[in-house]
């Protein structure tokens, strides 16, 4: 005699199926939500024109102009770099006339040694930092004098003797014996190394490079005032 089959509890079966369906729906909703979050994050990261701003320690750098100016430009430069010489002599005068002297822009100087980091570039930076720490008002005069007397990129010229004699010739108002001592003892090497590290961390590949209110400017900006000027005007308009 065959055993009787137990009657199927259809109510319990439907409840079990409904619970399974709810679990699947929750899983789908959770996965979909996670995908949306990832997609939004990617869109924000890859959004055209989006940039990461660098928070520079402006108070530690030489500044030309009013530190309270709405536009702050950091020039990363090398005293042995011919392009940096061009920026100082060919672009800076117009920048100064149109924006710095009118209180709209403050220009900051940061060392980035790429030509001869173990020799001339570093020696010139040490001398400039010594002048800055001795007499901040004389820094830009000395900065201009170094570029005006810049030697051949392939030869050694920025020696301690040259740099001290240049300060004397240009009547830079500092203690020349201290200037020589600061160069020889590398008094401000840590500051220069810190500035170099900042440039490397920001993946800066050349000098001069400009950061305008913390954002890297176009590569052409330091070499072409017609490129730089509209960038500044656009930021001022904001």
pTM of the predicted protein model: 0.78
- The number of beta carbons lying within 10 Å of the beta carbon of residue 4 is 6
Whole-number Å distance between alpha carbons of 213 and 105: 10
Nearest-angstrom CA–CA distance, 70 and 83: 27
Strands (E) located in the chain: 63-64, 71-77, 105-111, 209-212, 215-216
Per-residue pLDDT of the chain (238 residues; tens, 9 = 90+): 555 555 556 556 666 666 666 666 556 455 545 444 433 343 344 343 334 577 899 999 999 999 999 999 999 999 999 999 999 999 999 999 999 999 999 999 999 999 999 999 999 999 999 999 999 999 999 999 999 999 999 999 999 999 999 999 999 999 999 999 999 999 999 999 999 999 999 999 999 999 999 999 999 999 999 999 999 999 999 8
E-strand ranges in 27-99 read 63-64, 71-77
DSSP 100: I
Q: How many helices (H) and strands (E) does the chain have?
A: 9, 5
Kindly state the tokens that stand for 186: 């590398």
Q: Going by DSSP bridges, is the β-strand pair 63-64/105-111 parallel, antiparallel, or unpaired? A: antiparallel
| Collapsed DSSP state (helix, strand, coil) of residue 119 | coil
The number of beta carbons lying within 10 Å of the beta carbon of residue 60 is: 12
Task: Work out whether the CA dihedral 97, 140, 195, 125 comes out positive or negative.
Answer: positive
């Amino acid at each position: 005699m065959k055993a009787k089959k137990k009657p199927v509890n259809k109510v319990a079966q439907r409840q079990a199926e409904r619970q399974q369906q709810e679990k699947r729906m929750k899983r789908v909703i959770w996965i979909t939500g996670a995908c949306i979050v990832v997609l939004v994050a990617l869109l924000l990261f890859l959004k055209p024109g989006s940039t990461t701003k660098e928070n520079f320690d402006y108070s530690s750098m030489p500044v030309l102009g009013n530190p309270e100016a709405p536009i702050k430009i950091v020039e990363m430069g090398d005293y042995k770099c011919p392009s940096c010489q061009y920026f100082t002599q060919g672009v800076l005068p117009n920048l100064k006339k149109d924006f710095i002297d009118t209180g709209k822009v403050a220009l900051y100087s940061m060392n980035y040694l790429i030509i001869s980091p173990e020799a001339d570039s570093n020696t010139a930076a040490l001398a400039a930092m010594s002048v800055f720490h001795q007499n901040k008002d004389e820094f830009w005069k000395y900065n201009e004098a170094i570029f005006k007397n810049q030697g051949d990129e392939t030869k050694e010229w920025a020696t301690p003797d040259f740099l001290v004699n240049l300060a004397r010739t240009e009547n830079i108002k500092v203690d020349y014996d201290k200037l020589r001592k600061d160069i020889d003892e590398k008094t401000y090497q840590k500051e220069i190394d810190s500035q170099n590290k900042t440039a490397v961390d920001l993946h800066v590949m050349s000098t001069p490079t400009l950061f305008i209110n913390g954002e890297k400017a176009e590569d052409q900006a330091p070499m072409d005032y017609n490129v730089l000027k509209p960038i500044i005007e656009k930021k001022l308009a904001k």
